[in-house]
Amino acid sequence: MTLLVVLEHDRGTWNDANDEALTAGRQLASDMDAALHVAIIGDGADGLAEQAAAGGAAIVHVVSDPLLTDYGPEAYGQSVVALIEDCEPDAVMAIGTDRGNEVMAQVGARADLGFVANCLSVDPSDDDTWTMTRAQWGGSLLEDATLTGDVKLLTYGHHVVAAQECTEPGAGEVEEFEPDLDDELGRTVVVDRQVLTSGVTLATAPVVVSGGRGVGSEDGFGILEELADLLGGRVGCSRAVTNNGWRNHSDQVGQTGTRIAPEIYIATGISGAIQHWVGAAASKRILAINTDPEANMVVKADYAVIGDLHKVVPAISAEIRGRQP
Ligand SMILES: Cc1cc2nc3c(=O)[nH]c(=O)nc-3n(C[C@H](O)[C@H](O)[C@H](O)COP(=O)(O)OP(=O)(O)OC[C@H]3O[C@@H](n4cnc5c(N)ncnc54)[C@H](O)[C@@H]3O)c2cc1C
């Protein structure tokens, strides 16, 4: 049996979601008793084969064509379909980033195969009918699903699998693959990329200190900036804050903002509405600071301080400063 894992990169820059993909892929391949193949599509892919092998890949399919230089959903989707016809995997998996789900949806539609997105767990023990649990509505609803078909298509939810070191690297044998692609598949292609934030971003920050309506003003965020700096983190906010014009939308956590997965999420003056919670739910630990002990964020948090954030946050910063050498 063969499991094909589709990895992500931009012109040779490895996407961290690949570490999750390889961790999940190793487990699924083992459960299927299958060989682990990976597909790396587009310019700069060859340089990543070693990294994929270190992550357990037995075979690395390096997929290239002028149309694949930069990401385009149709060309990438059709390339995976062509690769399925070539190497006949039993299942194809990716991580459910925006791009991962888009490519797999293209594959499903083009090859007329069933696709289950954003899985939390997958049971392939029955070859014909796999069962899986997946997250819907940003994690507020769990669905049990079954998947049939000659080639099973699925993604694991982004940040669902904790990336782990691989103890048994794969052979990483490189197989070049040049699909036959129609020019029409280049209708939607990424042509330019502007990095708006350098260094630690909200999505990748190990600590996020967020403020909600309870912060009270734009200036009120000064104490949150200070705490975030002390912890090497980033400041986030709720939509009430962006609606009030206190912070930019790029700082907003939630359904219509950024989905975060920090080690620690400190949510201050935020009630924890479902649209905010879905963006924060993947945080490893949550500390809520709120005057309302019944606030949803307080109820769901691992730790809570019931009090005025304008007093609690500076007190935490003072404590940290006091412990610094
Ligand atoms: C389609 C749609 C999409 C949305 N997308 C998002 C999204 O992406 N992100 C998002 O955040 N929201 C989103 N929302 C809005 C969401 O429903 C809530 O309205 C919003 O999250 C509320 O923000 P808040 O918690 O800051 O404000 P509130 O709900 O007003 O809560 C303020 C909290 O601050 C506490 N508080 C007040 N003063 C203090 C103090 N001095 N010290 C400590 N605590 C204090 C209060 O007890 C309260 O819990 C969306 C809504 C819709 C309809």
pLDDT value at residue 211: 98
**pLDDT per residue as tens, the chain (325 positions):** 999 999 999 889 899 899 999 999 999 999 999 999 999 999 888 789 999 999 999 999 999 999 998 899 999 999 999 999 999 999 999 999 989 999 999 999 999 999 999 999 999 999 999 999 998 776 667 899 999 999 999 999 988 888 999 999 999 999 999 999 999 999 988 887 776 656 678 988 999 999 999 999 999 999 999 999 999 999 999 999 999 999 999 999 998 888 898 999 999 999 999 999 989 988 999 999 999 999 999 999 999 999 999 999 999 999 999 998 8
Query: Please, are residues 28 and 91 in contact by the beta-carbon 8 Å criterion?
Result: yes
**Distance between Cα 270 and ligand 1 center (Å):** 5
Q: Which of 241, 266, 271 to mutate to test the pocket of ligand 1 (most atoms within 8 A of CB)?
A: 271
Q: Which of 255, 260, 265, 274 to mutate to test the pocket of ligand 1 (most atoms within 8 A of CB)?
A: 255
Q: How far apart are CA 202 and CA 195, in angstroms?
A: 13
Q: How many CB atoms lie within 10 A of CB 38?
A: 29
Burial bucket for residue 216 (CB in 10 Å: 0-12, 13-18, 19+): middle
Among protein residues, the one with the nearest Cα to ligand 1's atom 48 is 271
What letter represents residue 211's amino acid?
G
pLDDT value at residue 199: 67
What letter represents residue 219's amino acid?
D
**Distance between Cα 218 and ligand 1 center (Å):** 15
The set of protein residues with a Cβ atom below 6 angstroms from ligand 1 is: 212-214, 238-241, 252-257, 269-271, 273, 275-276, 279, 289-292, 295, 308-310
Which ligand 1 atom sits closest to the C-alpha of 254?
8
| 3 state DSSP class of 3 | strand
Q: How far apart are CA 61 and CA 92, in angstroms?
A: 13
**Distance between Cα 168 and ligand 1 center (Å):** 46
> Which domains are delineated in the chain?
2-187 (3.40.50.620), 207-323 (3.40.50.1220)
Q: How far apart are CA 97 and CA 149, in angstroms?
A: 23
Contacts of 219 (CB under 8 A, 6+ apart): none
pLDDT value at residue 192: 79
**Distance between Cα 211 and ligand 1 center (Å):** 9
Beta strand 234-237 with 130-136 is unpaired
What is the reported pTM? 0.73
Helix crossing, 222-231 with 309-323: angle to 10°?
30
Torsion over CA: 154, 158, 159, 165 (sign): positive
The C-alpha torsion from 114 through 117 and 120 to 122, rounded to 10°, is 20
Q: How far apart are CA 318 and CA 311, in angstroms?
A: 11
**Distance between Cα 276 and ligand 1 center (Å):** 7
